[in-house]
Amino acid sequence: MQSTIHGSLKAVINHLFMFAFQMLVSEREGELSSLKGELDVLEKEEGDRQASMADLRHERDKHTTSLKDDEDKENCPRATSEEELLSVNRRELECESAALGEKLEQMTPNMAAIEEYRRKEEQHRDRLKELDQVTSDRDDARNKFDELRKERLDRFMKGFSTITNKLKEMYQVCVCVCVCVCV
């Protein structure tokens, strides 16, 4: 009879322990999967922003190179030989200079290209801010995930200790009852 009570008590205790353990595990798995989902979304957003940042950098570099090439062509002096210099008349040079001055005054710079460059540069700054924010959000989510994982382990160990102590008490009570009954 004592072994039957002892066996039944062990079975009940094991059942209680397993039930408590399964409840803790399922609760923590739900939190874990939710955090993993958030982390995946944030990492995807970060990847998208990095790709668009690369595109914007490429566009900026293309426009910057184009502007520099135009400036270099205008500022580059022509190579002239000594014979050419001697053959050119001062009056002709003054006329040519005046004609170029008039032509320069009539020219209108392509303000749309400059405005587009400024707009793209502003977009670039905005995207950098977004990237920083997404990175910060991702890091926060990762830290929260790590904290919850640690908290889950701490709660599990606390519950495990509580169940172990209760099992020890119940076992001692059962052993004491069984000894008293047998004596």
Q: 10-residue block means of pLDDT along the chain (183 residues)? A: 67 76 81 84 83 79 68 53 63 80 76 86 94 94 94 94 92 80 70
Please state, in angstroms and rounded to a whole number, the distance separating the CA atoms of residues 78 and 86.
16
Q: Which residues are CB-neighbours of 118 under 8 A, at least 6 positions away?
A: none
Is 141 a domain residue?
Answer: yes
Rounded to two decimals, the pTM is 0.37
Is 113 a domain residue?
Answer: no
Which residues constitute the domain of residue 62?
2-71+118-182
Is 107 a domain residue?
Answer: no
Is 61 a domain residue?
Answer: yes
Q: Can you give the pLDDT at residue 165?
A: 93
Contact 144, 66 (CB under 8 A): no
In terms of Cα–Cα distance, which of 137, 136, 157 is closest to 28?
157
Is 131 a domain residue?
Answer: yes
- For 183, the 3-state DSSP assignment is coil
